[in-house]
Amino acid sequence: MTFLFATMTESVFANKIIAPATKQAKGKGFSLEIPVDWVAKSASDGAIAFTKANNLYVGKVELLGYTKGQSDSSLLPNYGTASNVKTVKELALPAIQATVTYKPDPAKKTQVSDLHYILKDEAHKIAYDLVFRSSAVAESSALNVAKSFKLSNPVSFSLKSGQKEMVTRSKEGITEKVEVIPYTLNPSGISFKLDTVFNAPSVDTGNKKVTFTKPIGAKSSLIISLQVLDGTKLDQVMTALNSEFTKAGYKKTGKVDLNEKGSLPATLVNFSSKTSYAGYTLYPLDKGFLVIKHVYPLDAGDGAGSMLNSLRASLKL
Name the helix (H) or strand (E) containing 283: strand 276-285
Local structure of 152: helix, strand or coil: coil
pLDDT at 265: 86
pLDDT at 100: 94
Are 224 and 210 a contacting pair, CB within 8 Å? no
CA 90, CA 92: separation in Å to the nearest integer? 7
List, in order of start, the domains of the chain with CATH numbers. 19-151 (3.40.1000.10), 158-314 (3.40.1000.10)
pLDDT at 2: 39
The per-residue pLDDT for range 110-159, each reduced to its tens digit, is: 899 999 999 998 877 889 999 999 999 999 999 999 999 998 865 678 89
The per-residue pLDDT for range 285-306, each reduced to its tens digit, is: 877 899 999 999 988 766 788 8
DSSP state of 122: G
Alpha helices in the chain (DSSP H): 2-14, 139-147, 234-247, 302-314
Local structure of 104: helix, strand or coil: coil
The per-residue pLDDT for range 245-286, each reduced to its tens digit, is: 999 999 999 988 877 555 688 999 999 999 999 999 999 987
